[in-house]
Amino acid sequence: MIEGDFRKAFATPHVAILEGVPTLLSQGAKAFYAYDPLTGEEWWRVEERNNHSGSTRPVLGHGLIFVPSGFAGGQLLALRPGKKGEVIDANAAAPPGTQLKVAWMTKRSVPKKPSLALVEDRLYGMEDGGVATCWDARTGEVVWNERVGGNYSASLLAAPGRLYCFSEEGKTTVLASDTREFRVLAENRLGDGFMASPAVSGNALFLRSRTHLYRVESQ
């Protein structure tokens, strides 16, 4: 039963266009998979056996796929997509000639539940315990690492010049995303805490707290 628990995964798959081909990307319990979305055929796989219960949706940009590996320790992987049939171990050197590679990885302040946000060349993450990090998406270099406070399950929401962070305690923190400096633009509280990720339609922001559904929109 313990191994069964370690085999659980909770991430939402994502269909992306890689080298002109629709590809279904799926974060599993102990591996990250690429499938043919029409047939379900596995194309390539990155195994990560040290962690389990992947929960975040992958983010793509700059020729890389960014995905945290889950619990217990967790690490953030920046993957370079591979060719059909390739399988690598995230914690070992890729075989010579393999296109599928880990471009960079980090274990510092990696979120387990909140999904990442990519803005230009800056990759943002909110660790479950309230530490926010901005990485250089191409290199993995830490641009800044700051404690925002609170606990987090909801994914980050990027808007022009802003990054919204919704805590389990009901606090929304708005960070600047048009600069490489850490800057808090606003803070407010609403409801009894957010576990679900926000949704957007037009100019409206939909937020689901533990007991209510909110629509926030300027008139």
pLDDT of residue 10: 86
Same-domain pairing of 2 and 82: yes
Distance from C-alpha of 28 to C-alpha of 7, rounded to nearest angstrom = 8
The whole-angstrom separation of Cα 168 and Cα 196 is 9
14 & 3 share domain:
yes
Looking at 64, 92, 107, which one is the last position of a domain?
Answer: 107
Mean predicted confidence (pLDDT) in 17-39: 94
**Digit-coded pLDDT (tens) for 83-94:** 999 999 999 988
Tell me, what's the pLDDT at 124? 98
Of the residues 107, 132, 165, the one at which a domain ends: 107
Q: Are residues 114 and 216 in the same domain?
A: yes
What SS3 class is residue 73? coil
Note whether 69 and 84 are same-domain residues.
Answer: yes
Q: Which of these three, 107, 141, 175, is where a domain ends?
A: 107
Which residues lie across from 102 on neighbouring strands? 79
pLDDT at position 1 is 46
User: What does DSSP assign to residue 37?
Assistant: T
Query: Residue 99: its pLDDT value, please?
Result: 95
Residue 24 contacts residue 69 (beta carbons within 8 Å)? no
Output the domain CATH number for residue 58: 2.40.10.480
Long-range contacts of 91-97 (CB under 8 A, 24+ apart): 91/48, 91/49, 91/50
pLDDT for position 3 = 67
- For the chain, the average pLDDT equals 93
| Same domain flag for 19 and 47 | yes
Pairing of strands 86-89, 42-47: parallel
> Confidence band (pLDDT; 50, 70, 90) for 53?
confident
Question: For position 148, which CATH number holds?
Answer: 2.40.128.630
Residues 79 and 7 in one domain: yes
Span 56-75, average pLDDT: 92
Token pair belonging to 197: 């990720």
Dist. CA 42–CA 39, nearest whole Å: 9
The whole domain housing 97 covers 1-107
Rounded to two decimals, what is the model's pTM?
0.93
CA dihedral 137, 168, 166, 5 (to 10 degrees): 40
Between residues 17 and 3, the one the model is more confident about: 17
**Across residues 53-67, what is the average pLDDT?**
93
- 96 lies in the same domain as 115: no
User: How sure is the predictor about 215, in pLDDT bands with cuts at 50, 70 and 90?
Assistant: very high
**Are 164 and 186 spatial neighbours (Cβ–Cβ below 8 Å)?**
no
Above 60 in pLDDT, residue 2? Answer: no
Tally the domains of the chain: 2
Q: Are residues 60 and 161 in the same domain?
A: no
My answer on whether 13 and 47 are in the same domain is: yes
pLDDT in tens, 151-203: 999 999 999 999 999 999 999 999 999 999 999 999 999 878 999 999 999 88
Amino acid at 129: G
